[in-house]
């Protein structure tokens, strides 16, 4: 666990990521809470509910998987868990796009959530790439 946190801290320091961005636990949990709120506000149509359940599953799993990454026993395991976070984030971004493209939710309503997904994707991609380059 300490080893994976060390990797993350080194990478963030190298990348010059601000102190406020460092607590990805809060950001990934915040993403989950926003997705839960989105789901509860969706129309009750079949299409909205089917897509909503998909975004609910993927969007809430990011934080859980990120926490698991912190319990990793090695750099390889850490990278694997971060990879799962990236997959779930990418899937979340897809379902959010679909909600907009299907005209279920107006684009302006999801813009901030989509931006957060993209920022988290960028941060976690950097962490994953840098950790892969760091000798274990």
pLDDT in tens, 36-52: 999 999 999 999 999 99
Write phi, then psi, for 93 (nearest 5 degrees). -60, -40
Model's pTM, two decimal places?
Answer: 0.82
Residue 98: the pLDDT is 98
Domain count, the chain: 1
**Is residue 67's pLDDT more than 70?**
yes
Rounded CA separation 7/70 (Å):
10
Question: Which residues span the domain enclosing 123?
Answer: 2-133
Confidence of residue 20 (pLDDT cuts 50, 70, 90): very low
Residue 11: the pLDDT is 47
Q: In this structure, what CATH number is given to the domain that contains residue 22?
A: 1.20.1440.60
Alpha-helical regions (H) of 1-136: 2-15, 24-41, 46-70, 75-101, 107-133
Confidence of residue 55 (pLDDT cuts 50, 70, 90): very high
């Amino acid at each position: 666990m300490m080893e994976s946190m060390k990797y993350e801290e080194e990478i963030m320091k190298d990348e010059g990521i601000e102190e406020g961005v460092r607590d990805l636990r809060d950001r990934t949990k915040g993403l989950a809470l926003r997705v839960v709120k989105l789901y509860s506000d969706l129309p009750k149509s079949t299409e909205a509910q089917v897509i909503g359940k998909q975004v609910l599953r993927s969007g809430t799993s990011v934080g859980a998987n990120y926490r698991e990454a912190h319990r990793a026993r090695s750099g390889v395991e850490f990278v694997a868990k971060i990879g799962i976070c990236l997959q779930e984030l990418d899937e979340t971004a897809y379902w959010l796009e679909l909600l907009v493209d299907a005209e279920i939710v107006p684009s302006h309503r999801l813009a901030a959530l989509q931006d957060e997904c993209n920022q988290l994707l960028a941060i976690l991609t950097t962490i994953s790439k840098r950790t892969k380059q760091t000798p274990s």
